[in-house]
Amino acid sequence: MVGVIMEKLLFPFVSIVGQEDMKKALLLNIVDPSIGGALIKGEKGTAKSTTVRSLSQILPFRETVKGCAFNCDPSKPDRLCPYCSEKLDRGEKLIFEMKPMRVVELPLSATEDRVAGTLDIEHVLKTGEKKFEPGVLAQANGNLLYVDEVNLLDDHIVDLLLDSAAMGVNYIEREGVSFSHPSRFILVGTMNPEEGELRPQLLDRFGLSVDVKGDKDTDTRMEVVKRRVAFDTDPKTYTEKHRVQTEALRERIIKAREMLPRISTDDDIIRAIVTITTNFGIDGHRADITMMKAARANAALDGRDSVTKDDIRAVASLVMSHRMRRRPFEEESFDTEELEKCLQSI
């Protein structure tokens, strides 16, 4: 089954110790879902799943069409599902409601039909009407889709997820009958590299990537243990203790999303981004565009109306670390000194 992560039993996002890059990558995607999602790689026990699932506590509300299985956004009439479009064509009014964004989890065993949905061909042949059973991609529309152990999914399922995330549409065709519906979501994958890597072509399709490791500092590790024990002992009290911080972060995200269209970027910033990606040998233009979007989202989160070099510093490794060319068995690393030289030379 597809699970919608419930908030009340989750460890608070604002109480997670360290892992700042992981938290930043996730927050930037919530501010601007067009960044392209996030891939979080790391050894077991580094709070990857805990952090992603806890996002349900801080995700903002969104307007949807009441009763629509595809969570259609009424403010985007060009992105409505066939059923909502037909209602409008008949002169019916769509009823709206505000719903919180959700974290929808995809189980590792999910089949292609379960992910994409299924067309009832027999019904089509008998009645001439299309009957579609929505899948995970319908539930994910307008929400966050979480895939744990994404590296263990069949490649064709990963391709399907990435294609839908990139195009914002899920297209299904069976026996010459086709159906499509909106499917815009934030794709977040977590994985342990020890269990296998993703193909390079798939890596590049994730907007941001983070490598997480367990902290070696004694005091930090002690704090992780103390917080986890306190939460497990009394989840309700612990969550309530962090309610004010949680709501403050949610409001910060909402303001950043509202501010994003007004964020300005001048040619100097664009030149800096292009210079950096060229210097690091990044192929194509996806990294340039993603870095611009991530830098703008970072500025919005900080409450600023223009992008600076500090925003580039904050997001460069998240954008480029998984896109750099490497020799076989070469360790992944990002040269911050090289980044600084680029920024200083511009």
* Residues with catalytic function: 286
Do the Cβ atoms of 119 and 174 come closer than 8 Å? yes
Lookup result for tokens 């223009």: 306
Do the Cβ atoms of 342 and 282 come closer than 8 Å? no
Do the Cβ atoms of 33 and 185 come closer than 8 Å? yes
Lookup result for tokens 């067009």: 34
Do the Cβ atoms of 69 and 134 come closer than 8 Å? yes
Lookup result for tokens 């460069």: 316
In whole angstroms, what is the distance from residue 346 CA to residue 337 CA? 15
Residues 6+ apart with CB under 8 A from 33: 184, 185, 186
Lookup result for tokens 């299904």: 172
- CA distances to 10, 209, 280, 305, 320 from 336, in Å: 34, 16, 11, 26, 11
In whole angstroms, what is the distance from residue 137 CA to residue 2 CA? 10
> Helix or strand or coil: residue 312?
helix
In whole angstroms, what is the distance from residue 36 CA to residue 26 CA? 11
187 beta partners: 145
Q: Report the helix count and the strand count for the chain, using DSSP H and E.
A: 15, 12
DSSP 118: E
